[in-house]
Amino acid sequence: MNGRINIRNIAIIAHVDHGKTTLVDAMLKQSGIFRENERVVERVMDSNELERERGITILAKNTSVRYGPVKINIVDTPGHSDFGSEVERVLKMVDGVLLLVDAFEGPMPQTRFVLRKALELNLQPIVVINKIDRPDARVAEVVDEVLELFIDLGAEDEQIDFPVIYTCARTGQATLDMNEPGRDLRPLFETIVTNVPAPEGDENSPLQLLVNNTEYDSYQGRMVVGRVHSGRICAGQPVALIRHDGSITPAAVGRLYVFEGLKRTEVPAAGCGEIVTFAGLEDVNIGETVACRENPVQLPPIAVDEPTLKMTFMVNDSPFAGREGKYLTSRQLRARLFKEMERNVGLRVEETDLPDVFNVCGRGELHLSILIETMRREGYELQVSKPEVIYKRENGQLLEPVELLMVDIPEDKMGPVMEMLGPRKGEMLNMSGHGAGQIRLEFKVPARGLLGFRSQLLTETRGHAVMHHLFMGYEPYKGDIQRRFQGVLIAFESGVASTYGMHAAQERGTLFIIPGMDVYEGMIVGQSSREQDIEVNVCKKKHLTNMRSSTAEIALRLEEPHILSLEEAMEFLDDDELLEVTPQSLRLRKKLLTRKERQRGEKFSRLA
């Protein structure tokens, strides 16, 4: 077993917003891959449009830097728990991890998740305490918290003996000693080369490569991304593709590339330990093995945690269907969902008895909302139902997913937040304070208890709360949880919303629409101030008469409407409601649009 001494494969893992992508930016700049006069955008690895808009990493991406004779392959991973499947599959490609931890926040729920996965694969950790320039940084305490986390997760002795680097990714500085300020990232590069083991493997053995990711190239079609575990891979080489079920399909490698900086460089061959991407395999799925055709041996497939949340995706059948979208049919919707499942390993798509209805299962609300947002930008029209948790039954007992919830709030809001989580079956686990009037609360909450909680929390704390949650496991069913305590305002007729009609309707609750917007009968135009649903006529116009009074000419004033985002609209949904998603609009509606249909449905439900 002779390792490739001149290669290091690492993944950067951390909780969301702890500085992973910013650190990669600094490493790329200091490695000299950019020209001096080259204009470089911030967070250059977040190339996806949604990633740049939201400021989060959604997809894991590959790059590389050179430090002297050593090539360091880097994988930038997502920090949000909903995209944990992206982290799980890329950890199979690397030999070590940089665990990034914020110098003030310390270990967070996703820090625990990604570190547990890395320790299970016996990867060599390097702890990076980032943002040491923060005025509220508490570096020594955070290092102790990280050590406690390692011990809590059952790390081996050699893993607990981890090196610690202190960095400010924004300015590109790193140091091994807090008393000696760093000037560049050289200490970080030195630590990676010294502590991360070179990849093992024998170049004289038969080829083995695990498919960790697939991409699409406009000119070459499907591209495979993976690490060469043994042997060598060459352009044009005949190979065997070993499926998940063990069946073998003959294939051939097309053009072969390695990652150099932010670009792909074509090479004739690549040796053991290298991370490569190549064309030629059109019908390939993540987790399958590319092996030597004469002696095919399968690698252990990628296993990821199961989805915990599901939604129903269906064809748009509202009165406004077909106005904005290009892809409207059940055949197009089905093809798009199954195509997504090929590369999104944390997603599950199930067909139902109805040809235009599909059950889509994911890791969380954000996971599913990113899929919905991507599809609407591509021109799809669809309708989705409210998110529901996925239950399990073991030994006759009903089990439900439970989440670890961590909220940072002002101290004076502790009482109201605990009151909100009580009806949601939340159990308080821990409370800690970091000064500056802030307090951190940890709860164990059923996953369904968190549906709709974020918007309620931000409203109660006036936007000063920060919440994170992480899947913990399945526990016995906790009982009924009432999600929504208020009804909705339902449009009485189809037409165009008028200021006059909305002025009368706003006395009944909070509106979700603006004047001039097209509405249809059964569309939800606001939230009622009462428990029951109320029908309103937002299209009503003022009758023109020749009567005048001293107040007739006073302009009508409307309250500021609450325009729901995609995530807020998903959280707001109830059992008898749907969200209509089109390229330009989001509309909430009742499943049964007319009053007669709803009355008939209520009658049948009472009889049942």
Name the H helices within 170-239.
186-195
Alpha carbons 546 and 51: distance in angstroms, whole number: 57
Residue 392 in marked binding region = no
User: Max Cα separation, the chain?
Assistant: 97
Long-range contacts formed by 153-162: CB under 8 A, 24+ apart: 153/112, 153/115, 153/116, 153/119, 154/119, 155/119, 156/119, 156/122, 159/119, 159/122, 159/124, 159/125, 162/99, 162/125, 162/126, 162/127
Residue 131 in marked binding region = yes
Six token digits for residue 368: 């599913």
Task: Annotate 544-578 with DSSP letters as a single string.
Answer: P-S---TTTTSPP--PPP----HHHHHHH--TTEE
- Sign of the C-alpha dihedral, residues 313, 314, 319, 322? positive
Residue 435 in marked binding region = no
Residue 18 in marked binding region = yes
Across 478-570, the runs of DSSP E, i.e. the strands, are: 488-491, 495-496, 509-511, 518-519, 523-528, 534-536
For residue 343, how many C-alpha atoms fall within 13 Å in the half-sphere facing its CB? 16
Alpha carbons 208 and 201: distance in angstroms, whole number: 10
Residue 21 in marked binding region = yes
Residue 130 in marked binding region = yes
For residue 569, how many C-alpha atoms fall within 13 Å in the half-sphere facing its CB? 26
Residue 22 in marked binding region = yes
Alpha carbons 74 and 66: distance in angstroms, whole number: 11
Residue 501 in marked binding region = no
Residue 289 in marked binding region = no
Alpha carbons 497 and 538: distance in angstroms, whole number: 5
Alpha carbons 112 and 470: distance in angstroms, whole number: 9
CB atoms within 10 A of CB 603: 10
Six token digits for residue 91: 């950890």
Residue 132 in marked binding region = yes
Annotated binding site for GTP: 17-22, 130-133
Binding annotation: 17-22, 130-133
